[in-house]
C-alpha cells in the first residue's frame, strides 16, 4: 500500500515477510550482536551496514525474492539482496522499515554492461529502503550522513561503474530523489534524479512492492540475465 511521506510506522513495518525472514537464526544472530552493543538505533544500523558490506561479496542477481537469510548464509548478494538483509536486521532489532519504489532508466546500468546492454530493459524497478529513526523516516542514502554533508565531503559522484550502490551510500551522494538540487556545493554528477522515470510511492515492505509492480526477474530477459550472469562477481 502506498503511504504519504509522513506516515507513522505500523505493525506491517516490523513483521516478517518472505524476503525479510527476520526470525531466521542468521538474521537474529546479527540483530543480537548489534543489540548487545547498547548503541542508538541509527549507529547500530550504520554498523550493521558496514558489517554487511564486509561480509557479503557483491554479485549480479535479479532474484528479488531471495530471503535475506539465504543471502547471509551464502555470503554474497546483489545490491537489492543486501539491502534486504539490512532491512531484515533492522526489523529484527525493532527498527521499522519500508521502501520507496521508483522506476529507473535502464541506461543507468549501462556502464556495468557495456557488451550486454541488450539484456537491460528501458525501465527497472528500484526498491529503496527507509528506516524509522528518532521519529522520522530516513532514506538509505542518508543512513550514514545527511545529503548536505555527503556532498560537501564527496570527491566524485556515483558513476555505477565499480563500487555498488550498497557500498557507495556510506560516503558518496546517491541521490535518486533530487535532494542535491538545492545544495550550493553540489555538482551535476551528484544528482541521479535524471535517471528516474516515475515514483510509485511507499510500500510497507519490498515484498509488497514487487507483488504490486512486478520485477525484472519475471521477464524473459530477466531469466536469461540470471542464467548468464547470476552469482557472478559484480564489478
Flag whether pLDDT at 34 surpasses 90: no
The helix-helix angle for 79-92 and 206-213 (nearest 10°) equals 140
Strand partners, 4: none
pLDDT per residue as tens digits for the range 119-138: 788 999 999 999 999 999 99
Higher pLDDT, 156 or 80: 80
pLDDT per residue as tens digits for the range 134-164: 999 999 999 999 999 999 998 889 999 888 9
What burial class does residue 81 get, using C-beta atoms within 10 Å of its C-beta: 0-12 exposed, 13-18 middle, 19+ buried?
buried
Helix or strand run (H / E) with residue 198: strand 196-203
Closest CA to 121 of 219, 233, 234, 192: 219
DSSP state of 66: -
Calculate what percentage of the chain has a pLDDT beyond 90: 74
Residues 220, 197: Cα–Cα separation, whole Å: 22
Q: Quick one: pLDDT at residue 143? A: 98
**Helices and strands in the chain, H and E counts:** 8, 6
CA angle 39, 43, 49 (to 5 degrees): 125
Higher pLDDT, 1 or 143: 143
User: Do 131 and 138 touch, CB atoms closer than 8 A?
Assistant: yes
* pLDDT grade for 235, boundaries at 50, 70 and 90: low
Residues 6+ apart with CB under 8 A from 167: 53, 58
Residue appearing with cell numbers 541506461? 107
Residue appearing with cell numbers 514487487? 210
Q: What is the mean pLDDT of the chain?
A: 92
* pLDDT grade for 224, boundaries at 50, 70 and 90: confident
Q: How many residues does the chain have?
A: 235
Flag whether pLDDT at 63 surpasses 80: yes
DSSP state of 201: E
Q: Quick one: pLDDT at residue 76? A: 96
User: What is the four-CA torsion angle of 200, 202, 204, 206, rounded to 10 degrees?
Assistant: 50
Mean pLDDT of 26-33: 95
Cα-Cα-Cα-Cα dihedral sign, residues 21, 235, 112, 60: negative
Helix or strand run (H / E) with residue 103: strand 97-105
* CATH level 3 topology of 11-229: C8orf32 fold (3.10.620)
pLDDT per residue as tens digits for the range 172-198: 999 999 999 888 888 889 999 999 999
Q: For 96-100, 114-118, 185-189, 207-211, which range has the lowest pLDDT when averaged over its residues?
A: 114-118
- For residue 115, the SS3 value is coil
Q: What is the pTM for the complete model shown?
A: 0.93
Amino acid at each position: 500500500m502506498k503511504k504519504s511521506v509522513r506516515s507513522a510506522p505500523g505493525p506491517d513495518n516490523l513483521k516478517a515477510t518472505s524476503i525479510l525472514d527476520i526470525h531466521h537464526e542468521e538474521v537474529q544472530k546479527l540483530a543480537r550482536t548489534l543489540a548487545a552493543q547498547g548503541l542508538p538505533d541509527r549507529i547500530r544500523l550504520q554498523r550493521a551496514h558496514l558489517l554487511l558490506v564486509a561480509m557479503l561479496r557483491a554479485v549480479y542477481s535479479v532474484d528479488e525474492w531471495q530471503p535475506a537469510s539465504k543471502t547471509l548464509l551464502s555470503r554474497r548478494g546483489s545490491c537489492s539482496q543486501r539491502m534486504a538483509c539490512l532491512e531484515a536486521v533492522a526489523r529484527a532489532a525493532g527498527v521499522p522499515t519500508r521502501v520507496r519504489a521508483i522506476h529507473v532508466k535502464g541506461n543507468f546500468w549501462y556502464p556495468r554492461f557495456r557488451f550486454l546492454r541488450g539484456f537491460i530493459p528501458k525501465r527497472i524497478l528500484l526498491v529503496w529502503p527507509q528506516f524509522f529513526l528518532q521519529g522520522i523516516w530516513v532514506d538509505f542514502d542518508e543512513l550514514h550522513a545527511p545529503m548536505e554533508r555527503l556532498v560537501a565531503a564527496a570527491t566524485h559522484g556515483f558513476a555505477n561503474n565499480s563500487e555498488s550502490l550498497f557500498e557507495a551510500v556510506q560516503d558518496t551522494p546517491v541521490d535518486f530523489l533530487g535532494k542535491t538540487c538545492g545544495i550550493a556545493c553540489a555538482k551535476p554528477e551528484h544528482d541521479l534524479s535524471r535517471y528516474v522515470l516515475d515514483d510509485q510511492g511507499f510500500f510497507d515492505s519490498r515484498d509488497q512492492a514487487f507483488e504490486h509492480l512486478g520485477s525484472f526477474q519475471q521477464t524473459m530477459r530477466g531469466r536469461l540475465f540470471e542464467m548468464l550472469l547470476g552469482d557472478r562477481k559484480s564489478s
